[in-house]
Structure 1
Amino acid sequence: MATEFKLPQLGEQVEKGIVLSVLVSEGDHVDADDVVLELETDKATTEVPAPSAGTVGELRVHEGDEIQSGDVIMMLEEDGGEEEDEEKSKKKGEDAEEEEAQEPEAGGREPEPEDGDRESEPEAGGREPEPEPESEGREPEPEDGGREPKPEPEAERRSRSGDRERQRKQPRERERPKIGEPVPASPSVRRFARELGVELSMIAGTGDGGRVTEEDIKSHVRNLLEDVSREKQAREDELPDFSQWGEVEREPMNAIRRATADNVARSWEKIPHVTQYDDADVTDLENFRSRFAEEAEEEGGKLTVTAILVKVAAIALERFPDFNASVDVERGELVRKKYVSIGVAVDTEEGLLVPVLRDVDDKGLVQIAAELGEKAGKARARKMSREDMKGGTFSITNLGGLGTTRFTPIVGWPQVAILSVGRMETKPVWNGDEFEPRKILPLGITYDHRAVDGADAAKFLRWIAETLENPMRLTMEA
């Protein structure tokens, strides 16, 4: 039997995606867990496997379609389906024959007794049934098995239905107390209203005698919040018709761009951002990189400035744990993580991806360099999974290769900080006797001001800069 193969839940907070490719055709046979679909979700490419073995029936999706969890992908004729259908059909036929043999007369009802039998037959318990008194002007009720009762007049039915509806809504239709009149409510309800800043006279009570209940207050507050939300939505400006001034072109955003838009908008709304800058003299660090570059390549990695920054940041986060935390607004707590996993922004043709290097505080510099190269390659090849981008406690973004010097990135909620790195420049620096050329690296730290103060941010960034300026410190700290 053909069954509907629906798109399963793809992961936490993942509801939809765009079909990149359909890997099967109608009539193909698939085994359980064979990949039948490639789906582009927010910032990841996901493979969708077949739930069981069978033959592909009607395909319901095509490349470029946007689908969500629960949508039917295809019809799948599971192996053994025909034999099961024959067995069910045979069983159904046998059941039908049994029912036909046992079916009583007159359409399934027991034959009614003759009038004489009905009169002589006593009710259960041996008593004769007592005739019911008839109301004046009212026809007698029909006996069992008699005529169908007359249908209720439509007007009467609607009237009675309306009465029930009014009774159901009656508690919500109570009038609010007039100004100056006392509002019936218990002391606990009054205290609850004061805590929420709610004026009881503005609430129509649904309790006995118009008494205001705690649920009335909650309902009133919910309604107020919904009204505010609707008003805010109504105030949002719609885009003007740009075509009145010239030719325009519209292009749908891909899944990565839409996910990025949602994430940065949420982060900007939740986090009060502050950015501070500093410079690091990395002349000696560049000599250090040149000295150990070949050794790192032999281990499969490339000793880049970003790889070194990952290790330096990991050490700094252990010294300044408030930067390795999240703000729990509901509980009024700062959640400090005892592990360090750093996300590194990677620019791809499809958009920005941020793979996470886990537990970098326990890894050496060469190992980090190798892992960073591997993760960046997967990101550019669109082979990242959602798990590869989860669990970061801090982020680094380096736009120096694109010529940028200073910029203000957005902190990725629920993290509280991100380190920005710009283009290295050679500048003249006074050494006490003369100017000499030095390689200067611009740094920035953007942070959540709820978790971090400016003084702590300055100390954190200066510690990173000084460690970059003194590669020996990096070796000792690591």
Structure 2
Amino acid sequence: MPDIGVDEVEIIEILVNVDEKIQIEQGLITVEGEKTSMEIPSPISGVVKKIYIKIGDKIKTSSIIMMCNVDGHQNNIEQKSKNLLKKESKQLKKDSFFQSEQNIPIHATPVVRRLARILNIKLGNVIGTGPKNRILKQDIELYKNNLKVNTLLKNNAIHANDTKTFQTEKIELSSLQKSVGNNLHQNWINIPHVTQFDEVDITILEKFRQKYNDEKKNDKSVNSRITILIFIIKVVAYALEKFPIFNSSLTANNTQIILKKYINIGVAIDVNNELFVPVLKNVNKKNVQQLSDELIYILERARQKKLNTSDMTKGSFTISNLGGIGGSWFSPIINAPEVAILGISKAKIKPLWNGKEFLPALILPLSLSYDHRVINGAEAARFITLISKLLSDIHFLIM
């Protein structure tokens, strides 16, 4: 180790390997003192035979670093090494260990500092990802790439403002959108959401639904055909009776759970590109046909914009149904003060293994989001499993 004017330095990089061919003035190691880091050059050309140090070691002047087989006769070796060290020390002083406006020490090797000078990058603006927040080559490259991207975006924005090619239009949010948006935002940031996903074979249920509708199509007392959603609402009501924790809410101070003795299920629906959540009251006390008639009536009121406050309050659980639109799974946002919400996506025909062969089955995706402060993962898994079981064979509903 040559004399670099520092009593003791730490080795932060070893730049060569055993049996590696090296040239005079090639960097061997990088060391760091209290205020500088420096690359130590080789005073000879040859082959590295043994390395005596490791990263993290503290070394002093004349400490043995490595042993090499020297190539032939070396002229002016000592003077060349001294000149290179002086050059490195001079450049280090020019760089300064403190390069940020806040006078925070910047850890970077001479190689990285030279790269930053070449690219005209201030090291104080670069976030280091190495040990002790040391700036690495890849940090410089990442910063350079980000500068290119930001410059491109800025140029595109300027170009867009200078032409009429990219026109925009501002649309005012409706009062309902503002209200719903604010509620969703508050629910998302205040409730620790977890979403449990599942899918259920509803082939048997769909056959029963079609058979029921076929038998009732000539019955004038029946207003309309039953949809899968009605069965889902009925099944959820049954599951809420078995798992009352899902039919609860937290007190305002988050210290008590309120278990509700009624089962009112809200159904999130899209009407004319607006979100409504009408609530069906006492679902567990009504049959499938009654629920279907009530939902049709309330949907019609929504389309006519005749829903009042009582139609959309007092809910204890919500179902968000996107089955009529498409998609597979999604993470619905809980409708506070409720503690859970079930998302329904579009059912699709998929191959299902019955133990002997693959058969076509109608598969319904389910997404259950729940408040993790109230409900744990095991309860959520049991709850959605029960729903899946009931939907796969509606006969279980009478057991």
What SS does structure 2 have at the residue aligned with 1:401?
coil
Which of 264, 285, 294 is the aligned partner of 2:184? 264
1:286 aligns to what?
206
1:363-390 CA distances to partner (integer Å, 9 max, x unpaired)? Answer: 1111011111111121122111111000
CA offsets, 1:419-475, max 9 Å, x none? 01111111111112211111111111001111100110000001000000111112x
Aligned to 2:320: 397
Q: 2:193 aligns with which of 273, 278, 283?
A: 273
Give the Cα separation in 1 of the matches to 2:208 and 2:249. Answer: 35
Question: Pairwise mapping of residues 224-303 of structure 1 onto structure 2 (< 5 A)?
Answer: 245-246=160-161, 247-294=167-214, 298=219, 299-303=222-226
2:228 aligned residue: 305
2:264 pairs, out of 310, 317, 341, with 341
Tell me the CA shift for residue 248 of structure 1. Answer: 2.9
5+ residue gaps, structure 1, are: 1-239
The 5 Å alignment of 1:69-148 reads none
RMSD: 1.9
Measured after TM superposition, the shift of residue 243 of structure 1 is 7.9
d(CA) in 2 for partners of 1:304, 1:296: 13
1:412: Cα distance to partner?
A: 0.7
Query: In 1, distance between residues paired with 2:234 and 2:215?
Result: 17
Alignment partners' CA distance in 2, 1:323 and 1:419: 11
Describe the SS at the equivalent of 2:170.
coil
Calculate the TM-score normalised by the size of structure 2: 0.57
Q: 1:322 aligns with which of 226, 240, 245?
A: 245
TM-score, normalised relative to structure 1: 0.48
Query: How many angstroms apart in 1 are the aligned matches of 2:200 and 2:186?
Result: 32
What SS does structure 2 have at the residue aligned with 1:310? helix
2:303 matched residue in structure 1: 380
Residue 364 of structure 1 is matched in structure 2 by 287
Alpha-carbon distance in structure 2 between the residues aligned to 1:424 and 1:257: 29
Within the candidate set 362, 372, 385, 1:449 is matched to 372
Is the 1:296–1:366 contact (alpha carbons within 8 Å) kept by the matching residues of 2?
no
Asked if the contact 2:329/2:365 (under 8 Å) is kept, the reply is: yes
User: What amino acid sits opposite 1:465 in the alignment?
Assistant: S
What SS does structure 2 have at the residue aligned with 1:402?
A: coil
Corresponding letter in the other structure for 1:304: T
Cα deviations by residue, 1:324-377 (Å, 9 ceiling, x for unpaired): 000114160001100000000111114100100000011111101111111112
Report the residue type matching 2:376 in the other structure. D
- Equivalent residue, structure 1, for 2:95: none
Q: How many residues are matched?
A: 236
Superposition misfits of 4+ residues, deviation over 6 angstroms: none
**Given the superposition, is the C-alpha separation of residues 331 and 412 from structure 1 closer, same or farther in structure 2, using an over 3 Å criterion?**
closer
Gapped regions of structure 2 (runs ≥ 5) = 1-153, 162-166
For residues 287 and 276 of structure 1, the distance between their equivalents in structure 2, rounded to whole angstroms, comes to 27
Quickly say closer, same or farther: Cα 1:271–1:429, change in 2 above 3 A: same
Tell me how far 1:296 sits from its aligned partner: 5.6
AA of the residue aligned to 1:424: A
Query: What's the secondary structure of 2:181's corresponding residue?
Result: helix
Query: d(CA) in 2 for partners of 1:393 and 1:406?
Result: 23
Q: Distance in 1 between matches of 2:318 and 2:249?
A: 13
| Aligned counterpart, 2:275 | 352
Q: Is the 8 A contact 1:324 1:393 kept in 2?
A: yes
Output one character per residue of 1:78-129: Cα deviation in whole Å (capped at 9) or x when no partner: xxxxxxxxxxxxxxxxxxxxxxxxxxxxxxxxxxxxxxxxxxxxxxxxxxxx
- Structure 1 letter corresponding to 2:258: V
